[in-house]
Amino acid sequence: MANTPLSIPEKSALLALLMIGRTASNTEIRDLYGFTIEKRVRESLVERKLIEAEQSKAHKNAWVHDLTEPGWKRCREQFADAPPPGVQRKDRLLYGLAQWVDTVFAKTGWELADVYAETEPEREPKPESTVDERIITAYHDLVTDSGAWVGLAELRRALPDVAVPEFDAALHRIAELPSVFFTPEMNQKLLTEADRRAAVRLGGEEKHLLSIKAS
């Protein structure tokens, strides 16, 4: 019984469960693929130990089905099946596609387990940029030439969500970097009220401009 050829309804049932990749009810199978696993098909596949099936209270006593280990194996094997005699023309393409998938698996060495991994590998969360990094990035977005001077007022406007104390603390930290330079505006008449409010006190004087040299 286990080695007898599968009928097209039996093959269809196995492939539907394969593509869903988990326990599935007849309602789900019908909604996705337009058919249900009928009683005679279900009983045959259960007898061959290719699927498990039960009536589920969670699905209002509808039948739910799941592939067994031999069922997964049979799904993989049937990719290579030739169309049976008398198969309808519309089904020949499906058999051809399955045989093509079999060829791809054979050439690549893939197994179904490679395609249906139980869990995806956890991705490490991308660390959020620090304020220091955001200031440096904002500087480079504002200049066309490396090392050009940028007003701190303009730089603060580029990062409106950063509070002043946090911004100032970050400016003090990046001031320690060898590629970072601060300077006061020499012509005080050019300073606006915004420029004066944006200044940071470093080395005993108010600095209004920032330059970052290429490292």
Partners of residue 158 on adjacent β-strands:
none
3-state helix, strand, coil in the chain (%, to 5): 50, 15, 35
Does residue 28 surpass a pLDDT of 60?
A: yes
pTM: 0.49
Q: CA–CA separation, 209 vs 116, rounded Å?
A: 57
Partners of residue 210 on adjacent β-strands:
150, 182
Q: CA–CA separation, 167 vs 135, rounded Å?
A: 8
pLDDT cut 70: percent of the chain above it? 91
Check: CB of residue 37 under 8 Å from CB of residue 29: yes
For 126-153, the pLDDT digits (tens) are: 566 799 999 999 999 999 888 999 999 9
pLDDT band at 119 (very low <50, low <70, confident <90, very high): very low
Check: CB of residue 26 under 8 Å from CB of residue 75: no
Closest by CA position to 50, among listed 98, 89, 7: 7
Q: Answer left, alpha or beta for residue 117, where phi above 0 means left and psi between -120 and 50 means alpha.
A: beta
Alpha carbon 144 to its chain centroid, in Å, reads 35
**pLDDT (0 to 100) of residue 96:** 84
CA distances from 65 to 14, 33, 50 (A): 10, 15, 10
Alpha carbon 156 to its chain centroid, in Å, reads 34
Check: CB of residue 51 under 8 Å from CB of residue 17: yes
pLDDT band at 210 (very low <50, low <70, confident <90, very high): very high
Residue-averaged pLDDT of the chain:
86
